[in-house]
Chain A
Amino acid sequence: MSRDIDDVSMVQILAPDGTPTGDTEVGLDDERLRDLLRLMIRARRLDRECMALQRQGELTVYPPFEGQEAAQVGSAFALGPDDFVFPSFRELAAAVVRGVDVVEYLEYHRGTWHGGPYDPIENRFAPICVPVATQIVHAVGWALGAKLDGKNACALAYFGDGSASEGDFHEAANMAAVFGAAAILFCQNNGWAISVPLAEQAVAPIASRASGYGFQGVRVDGNDVLAVYAVTKTAVERAHAGEGPTLIEAMTYRIGPHSTADDASRYRDDDEVAAWRARDPIDRFRRYLSDAHVADDAFVHECETDAARWVSEIRAKLISLEAPAASEIFDQVFTAPPRTLERQRDTWPADG
C-alpha cells in the first residue's frame, strides 16, 4: 500500500525537481537559505556516518532519518531561541539545527548514557524520548508553563505517524486546545510505523484531526524545506501571538529502516523507496538554489567537504567515549539518595 504522494491539499513551494510551485519568498535572505542547505548536507553526512558506526560496533541500535532532512531542518530552523523542542528519537537533524552538542547527543546511541545526555534546558531541546507520543504531552505542559509565565515562547513536539495512534497524542492535542497552549504538534509522516503502513494506522489525514480539537492543522510537503519552514514559521508566529496550537503534518519518507535492528525489505518494495529517492529533499533544494543563483556547485562541494571534516571530528570524539562510573546510576536518581540506595551503591556489586 502506498500513499498518494501528490496530495493536492498539501502546502508546497518547490516541486521535486526544484521548480517553484508557490511563493518562494519566505523571509529568508540568501545567507540563511544557504544555511538551510548546509545544515541538511551536514545532517545527512552525520546520519550516514552513524549508520556506519553502528555497523562497526561503535553505536548501539541507531534510528536513521535519511529522507527526512527537510522536515526536521526546515521546522527547527523556524524556531526562536527561547522556543523549546520536544523530540522523539529520530530528530538528530533538528538537534543539529538547535546547536545541541552532537557528541553528547550520540552518547545515547553509544550506550554511555540514557536519553538526556546533553543539557536539555540550556539547549532548549528535551531528552530523546522513546515512549511513543509521551513527549507531545510534555510539550503542552511546557507551553502551559510558558504561558503562565507570560513568556513569548512556544514548544514544538516531533512525533511520527504511528505516534498519532496513541492516546497521549489525543490527550496532548485536546489539552493544548483547552489551555490555549503555544504548542506546535509536528508530525513527520514518514509512511511507516516500523513495518505498519500509514493505511493501517489512520484513515483520514492526520492534519485533519486538528479541526476536531478546535485549532489549525496543515499538511505540508515534508521534503520541501522551504514549505516546511514557511508553515512552521507561521505556526510559531501564531503561538507567540497567543493564538494557540497548530498541528503540522509533514509528508515525508524514511528512506532507511526503522532502526539498524530492522529489515525494511520484509515489508516494503524497493520501487516505493526509489519513488521517494526521486523526491530527495536535498537535491530539490540544491536545484532550486542553483537555478536561483543563490548556491552553485562550488558551494555544495564546500558544504560536503565541511560536513566530512565535521563528522570525522565527531567520530573521533565519539569512539573515545567510555562507560561512566557505575556509581552515577545510584547518585542521580534522587537529589539526595536515600540511605537504602547509598548502601546498595556502597556494596555494589559485592553482595549483588
Chain B
Amino acid sequence: MVAALNAALRDALEGDPRTLVFGEDVGELGGVFRVTDGLQQKFGRERVFNTPIAEAGIAGICVGLAMAGWRPIAEMQFDGFSYPALDQVISHIAKYRLRTRGRVSMPIVIRIPSFGGIKGKEHHGESPETYYAHTAGLKVVVPADAIDAYRLLRLSIDDPDPVVFLEPKSRYWSKSQNGPEALTTDGPQIGVAVVHLPDGGDCTIVTYGAMRARCLDAARSLAEDGIGARVVDLRSLVPLDVETIRRCVVETGRAVVVHEAPLTLGFGAEIAARIMEEAFDHLEAPVARVTAPDTPYPPASLEQAYLPSVERIVAAVRRTVEY
C-alpha cells in the first residue's frame, strides 16, 4: 500500500502543477513510513517540503495556500499527533466554503497514518475517524487495500473540497497481486461502498480500513459452515453510501458492524442508526457491533486482544444469524 500511495502522490504532483506535498519528515527521509519516498528528489523542495513540527501550523497554512490557489496535500505524521491541528481543521478547513458563501473552496487533503495493529507505542494506534466524520464539511476516506488506496488518494486530491484521508498503518506493507497497470482512478468513486462476497445472503458485515481483511477472513470461515456473509467496505465515511448499506441489509436481514475504534459513539453507532431508519422492517435481528472497548489504545502486547479478531467477528455473525 505504501508504494501505491507513493505512486498516487507522484502522479498527482506530475499531473497538476498546483499540488504541494508537505509535512514533518516528508522530504529527504520520505516520511516515517516512506509514503513520500523520492518525491522531493523528483519534484524539488518547493513542491515537496518539510515543515517545522507544528501540526496546527501545517493545517493552518493549508488554508492560506488554498486561498492562493494551491492544492495542499499535508501529512500528519501519526494519528495521535494530529490533534493539535483539530482547531484549524474544524474551525476553518471544514467551514470555509460555507462561511464564504461558496466563493472559497478548500481543495485540501490531510493524510493521517491511522489505526492500530503495528505494535506501536501509545499515541500511535488511534482511530480518529469519528472526530472528522462528525465535523460537517469534511470528507473522510479510508482505503482498505493498495489498489483502492491509489484510486481514493488520487480522487481525494482531485476533489474540490477537503478530505481527511486515513491510511490504515497495519495495511501499509500489504502486497497487491496486481501490477502497476492496476493503479487507476477508474472504478468506484468516493462515496460508493463496495460489496465483497455479494452472494453472502445471511448477514451483511459493514466495515472499512484494515478491518476489511479480517471481515473477509471471517466471512470465508463462516461460509465453510454454510453461513453466507457479505462484506461492505464503506471506503468513505463521508459521504456515506447509505443506499448500498440499505440494499444489503434488506437482502440479508441482518447486519454486523466492525471497526477498530471504541464502541461508544464509534462509527458503528451511525451505521446501526441508519439501518434502523432505512431497513427496520427487514431486520431479523438487532444490529451487532464488533469494536474495541471504551478504553484508550492498549500497549502492544495487548493490542490483538483489543482489536476485533476474526473469532469475535465470526461469533457476532453467528449470534446474529441464530437470533
A residues sitting closer than 8 Å to B (CB atoms) are 84, 86, 113-117, 119-121, 126-127, 131, 134, 137-146, 148-149, 155, 167-168, 171-172, 174-175, 178, 328-329, 331-335, 338-341
Whether B100 pairs with A137 at a CB distance below 8 angstroms is: no
Whether B238 pairs with A338 at a CB distance below 8 angstroms is: yes
Does B220 have its Cβ within 8 Å of any Cβ on chain A?
Answer: no
**When chains A and B are docked, how far (Å) is the Cα of A140 from the Cα of B57?**
9
**When chains A and B are docked, how far (Å) is the Cα of A149 from the Cα of B97?**
23
Shortest beta-carbon distance from A266 to chain B in Å: 28
Cross-chain pairs A/B with CB under 8 angstroms, 15 sampled: A115-B99, A116-B99, A134-B91, A145-B65, A148-B70, A168-B60, A171-B54, A171-B60, A172-B57, A172-B60, A328-B101, A329-B98, A333-B136, A333-B137, A335-B105
Shortest beta-carbon distance from B54 to chain A in Å: 4
Whether B103 pairs with A121 at a CB distance below 8 angstroms is: yes
- Specify which of B62, B100, B239 is in contact with A120 (CB 8 Å cutoff): B100
Whether B51 pairs with A175 at a CB distance below 8 angstroms is: yes
**When chains A and B are docked, how far (Å) is the Cα of A115 from the Cα of B54?**
26
Given A141-B68, A144-B68, A168-B57, 11 more pairs with CB closer than 8 A? A120-B67, A131-B87, A137-B61, A138-B61, A141-B61, A141-B63, A145-B69, A148-B70, A328-B101, A331-B102, A332-B98
Shortest beta-carbon distance from A258 to chain B in Å: 20
Q: A137-B63, A142-B64 are in contact. Are A116 and B103 (CB under 8 A)?
A: yes
Shortest beta-carbon distance from A267 to chain B in Å: 27
- Specify which of B51, B68, B238 is in contact with A145 (CB 8 Å cutoff): B68
How many B residues are at the interface, by size bracket? 35 or more
Residue of B nearest to A136 (CB): B60
Shortest beta-carbon distance from B166 to chain A in Å: 18
Cβ contacts under 8 Å, B51 to chain A: 175, 178
Cβ contacts under 8 Å, A335 to chain B: 97, 102, 105, 160-161
Closest CB pairs A-B (n = 7) = A141-B64, A137-B60, A145-B68, A141-B61, A338-B239, A171-B57, A116-B100
A interface footprint on B206-250 (CB within 8 Å = 1, 0 otherwise): 000000000000000000000000000000001110110000000
**When chains A and B are docked, how far (Å) is the Cα of A119 from the Cα of B239?**
28
Residue of B nearest to A122 (CB): B103
Cβ contacts under 8 Å, A155 to chain B: 64
Shortest beta-carbon distance from A95 to chain B in Å: 15
Q: A140-B61, A167-B56, A339-B239 are in contact. Are A145 and B100 (CB under 8 A)?
A: no
Does B104 have its Cβ within 8 Å of any Cβ on chain A?
Answer: yes
Whether A338 pairs with B91 at a CB distance below 8 angstroms is: no
Shortest beta-carbon distance from A121 to chain B in Å: 6
Whether B101 pairs with A339 at a CB distance below 8 angstroms is: no
Residue of B nearest to A351 (CB): B277
Whether B239 pairs with A340 at a CB distance below 8 angstroms is: yes
Q: A137-B88, A145-B69 are in contact. Are A332 and B56 (CB under 8 A)?
A: no
**When chains A and B are docked, how far (Å) is the Cα of A341 from the Cα of B84?**
28
Within 8 A of A (CB), among B127-176: 136-137, 139, 160-161
Q: A114-B99, A116-B99, A134-B88 are in contact. Are A175 and B238 (CB under 8 A)?
A: no
**When chains A and B are docked, how far (Å) is the Cα of A143 from the Cα of B46?**
14
Does B96 have its Cβ within 8 Å of any Cβ on chain A?
Answer: yes
Within 8 A of A (CB), among B23-80: 46, 51-52, 54, 56-57, 60-70
Cβ contacts under 8 Å, A149 to chain B: 68-69
Cβ contacts under 8 Å, B54 to chain A: 171, 174-175
Whether B92 pairs with A131 at a CB distance below 8 angstroms is: yes
Shortest beta-carbon distance from A178 to chain B in Å: 6
Cβ contacts under 8 Å, A168 to chain B: 56-57, 60, 87-88
Q: Which of A120, A145, A334 has the most CB of B within 10 A?
A: A334
- Specify which of A126, A138, A338 is in contact with B60 (CB 8 Å cutoff): A138
Does B298 have its Cβ within 8 Å of any Cβ on chain A?
Answer: no
- Specify which of B62, B92, B101 is in contact with A332 (CB 8 Å cutoff): B101
Residue of B nearest to A343 (CB): B242
**When chains A and B are docked, how far (Å) is the Cα of A333 from the Cα of B160?**
11
Cβ contacts under 8 Å, A144 to chain B: 61, 64-65, 68
Whether B99 pairs with A127 at a CB distance below 8 angstroms is: yes
Cβ contacts under 8 Å, A331 to chain B: 102
Whether B161 pairs with A334 at a CB distance below 8 angstroms is: yes
Shortest beta-carbon distance from B164 to chain A in Å: 14
Cβ contacts under 8 Å, A141 to chain B: 60-68
Cβ contacts under 8 Å, B69 to chain A: 145, 149
Does B119 have its Cβ within 8 Å of any Cβ on chain A?
Answer: no
Q: A140-B61, A141-B61 are in contact. Are A333 and B98 (CB under 8 A)?
A: yes
Does B282 have its Cβ within 8 Å of any Cβ on chain A?
Answer: no
Shortest beta-carbon distance from B259 to chain A in Å: 19
Whether B60 pairs with A113 at a CB distance below 8 angstroms is: no
Residue of B nearest to A157 (CB): B64
Does B120 have its Cβ within 8 Å of any Cβ on chain A?
Answer: no
Within 8 A of A (CB), among B241-266: 242-243
Shortest beta-carbon distance from B210 to chain A in Å: 24
Residue of A nearest to B51 (CB): A175
**When chains A and B are docked, how far (Å) is the Cα of A126 from the Cα of B52?**
25
Cβ contacts under 8 Å, B62 to chain A: 141
Does B196 have its Cβ within 8 Å of any Cβ on chain A?
Answer: no
Shortest beta-carbon distance from B162 to chain A in Å: 9
Whether B65 pairs with A134 at a CB distance below 8 angstroms is: no
Cβ contacts under 8 Å, B61 to chain A: 137-138, 140-141, 144, 175
**When chains A and B are docked, how far (Å) is the Cα of A84 from the Cα of B104?**
15
Whether A178 pairs with B238 at a CB distance below 8 angstroms is: no
Shortest beta-carbon distance from B156 to chain A in Å: 13
Whether B67 pairs with A145 at a CB distance below 8 angstroms is: yes
Does B117 have its Cβ within 8 Å of any Cβ on chain A?
Answer: no
**When chains A and B are docked, how far (Å) is the Cα of A334 from the Cα of B239?**
11
